[in-house]
Amino acid sequence: MRKLMDGHNFQDRDWLFGLMIQSKLFCPKRAGGRVFISPDYNQTMEQQREMTMKRIAYLLDRGVFDGWLTGKGAEAEMRKFALHEVIGMYDHSLAVKLGVHYYLWGGAIQFFGTKRHHDKWLRDTEAYMIKGCFAMSELGHGSNVRGIETVTTYDANTGEFVINTPCESAQKYWIGGAANHATHTIVFSQLNINGNKQGVHAFIAQIRDADGNICPNIRVADCGHKIGLNGVDNGRIWFDNVRIPRENLLNSVADVLPDGQYLSAIKDPDQRFAAFLAPLTSGRVTIAVSAVYSSKISLAIAIRYSLTRRAFSLAPNEPEVLLLDYPSHQRRLLPLLAKTCAMSFAGNYLKMIYVKRTPQSNKMIHVVSSAFKATLTWHNMRTLQECREACGGQGVKTENRVGHMKSEYDVQSTFEGDNNVLMQQVSKALLGEYIAAKKRKAPFKGLGLEHMNESCPVIPSQLTSSTLQSSRFQTDVFCLRERDLLNRFAIEVSQRQAQGESKEYAFILSYQLAEDLGRAFSDRLILQTFLEAEATVSDGPMKNVLGLLRSMYALISLEEDPAFLRYGYLSTENAAAVRKEVTKLCGELRPHALALVSSFGIPDAFLSPIAFDWIDANSWSSVQH
């Protein structure tokens, strides 16, 4: 089961787990006869940042980052994903700090740059001799990258670009690494040549020298203490006529000749802007997958605790009942467990389409990564909250991880794209495919909409247990919801346009259908990835458990989304049948709960004392020790 859910690089993962467990830098602490590792969140912000840098140095010396930028092919990319996931399971700050450096700064040079940039920057970046950050967000602009206000002009007399922060809202904001450590940054800026505005482009600028001194004409300030991620030095940057060589324009999409002539093979400004943003997908991929591993940790802790903690007896002189033997407690945790397993398969699918990307698949990857980043991070925050509550007062203790992880992971809902905005982008892309297919009177092809070429699924008027647990019904009802919502969305936008609204404003006014459609797309694709993973397993006990998990994922999705009742895909009687089946599935999954969280492959040291002998961990002898 672990191989199915982790998907790849098991030995590399276990090697890195071992490296971290054996070093005092990762704050080992003995409790209940076991050793646990977790960052010391009692440290000051400055101390947490210092520890992040020490841990990076330790991992660097042991070859963890070898090939992260210079390695070639899918194998190198999958190893990088696996090791980054393990790092995130220990500390989100450490993973984000490395993600900014390797995925954002390093990825920008890889994908926006050309050979001259690769030769000059990649090897030193991989060796952490250069410390990079990524200056896209501004005080006044986050999701709307096209509207950023930083301005870069070209001086043909000197062959230099000149970068300026023209107003306070143009200051670069939330830039990870900028406050203390970064030596260089990618600057996203409006390019202006001889009064002609060419749109957003990316440039390399140095912000500190090798000794850590801030460079001339650059001002840097700290973003200050945050609700989480205090091991990352987020900063603000102002540019005051900062001059950089012409060669520091990352020129894979567009270039400027020495005389100031602007060149780009992509003439359409919208397509050019899209080409600049396409490589940023890797950030959404890593966020989506790390959210799944965060959910796994919290569920492993909460479910293990519920298998040892007892409360209330059903009759006098009888033993108290285990928490997980209460149907209500099963209802709280086991649907989240099934969803997390489903999202493991979705994360693996996302990684595979990313490493096998082609120019033709960029749109699909953008849409899927946007949908999964939103869906998986929202799921993680809900899971963390439920697990915190399911652990009672113990869930509040920092050493038990779950409560504190909420503040560490909360940012995932808004960085690398606000989740609500991302879901609207998903619906917008689906609408575009719908309009294009109707216009050319051709079958749907792309974004997984091929099911709309088939006849509309018919849902039985009465749903039995066997029907509810069949993959055919589950697929049909998910496809029915998606196709109907897409039709409704297209009609509503069209009607608003017919009433005189612009296409953009018509889309904005139809936001409720857009949100429903984005969720339908994501849920259907997650189910599809589950079925594909399940199909690789031979008949036997594991296949049976996967069937239970898949049915739980599908049916809890039906129960939780009001769209199934709102638009009549399910009758009230069938909705009641779904609810009853979810309760039945909880009982069927209960015997497998411990085996499932064990199959996550998370070392005991990465969990917490309440997952094991929490009485010994809280004994008087532990206080004296």
Active site residues: 416
Spatial distance between the Cα atoms of 282 and 109, rounded to a whole number of angstroms: 13
* Token pair listed for 300: 């492993």
The C-alpha atoms of residue 145 and residue 139 are separated, in whole angstroms, by: 12
Collapsing DSSP to helix, strand or coil, 527 comes out as helix
| Pairing assessment for the beta strands 172-176 and 218-222 based on DSSP bridges | unpaired
Residue 596: name the closest of 552, 539, 535 by CA: 552
CA-based nearest residue to 288, from 385, 363, 379: 379
Give me the amino acid identity at 430.
L
CA distance 492 to 434: 13
238 forms beta bridges with: 219
Enter the DSSP assignment of 99. Answer: I
Residue 617 near residue 31 (C-beta atoms within 8 A): yes
Question: Per the structure block, which two tokens stand in for 477?
Answer: 């009802």
Give yes or no for a contact between 1 and 599, defined as CB atoms under 8 angstroms apart.
yes
Report the C-alpha gap between 488 and 514 in whole angstroms: 10
Helix/strand/coil for 10: helix
Secondary structure of residue 581 in the 3-state scheme = helix
* Number of Cβ atoms within 10 Å of the Cβ of 492: 17
CB atoms within 10 A of CB 465: 13
Positive/negative CA dihedral, 110, 114, 115, 118: negative
Tokens 């496809």 label which residue? Answer: 479
Residue carrying the six token digits 């995932």: 412
Query: Does 199 carry a binding-site annotation?
Result: no
**H or E element, residue 200:** strand 196-206
263: left (phi over 0), alpha (psi -120 to 50) or beta: beta
Residue 6 CA, distance from chain mean position: 16
Task: Answer yes or no: are the C-beta atoms of 94 and 231 closer than 8 Å.
Answer: yes
Total residues belonging to the chain: 625
Say how many C-beta atoms besides its own lie within 10 A of residue 228's C-beta. Answer: 18
Residue position matching structure tokens 């969990």: 607
Phi/psi for 527 (5° steps) reads -60, -40
d(CA 79, CA 74): 9
| CA-CA-CA-CA torsion sign (211, 41, 339, 417) | negative
Return the number of other C-beta atoms located less than 10 Å from residue 46's C-beta: 12
Rounded to the nearest 10 degrees, what angle do helices 362-390 and 327-355 cross at? 160
Evaluate the CA torsion angle 104, 107, 113, 119 in order and state its sign. positive
DSSP codes joined into one string, 547-615: HHHHHHHHHHHHHH-THHHHTTSS-HHHHHHHHHHHHHHHHHHGGGHHHHHHTT---GGGS-GGGS-HH
State how far the Cα of 351 lies from the Cα of 354, in Å rounded to an integer: 5
User: Which residue ranges are tagged as binding site?
Assistant: 176
User: Which residue ranges are tagged as binding site for FAD?
Assistant: 176
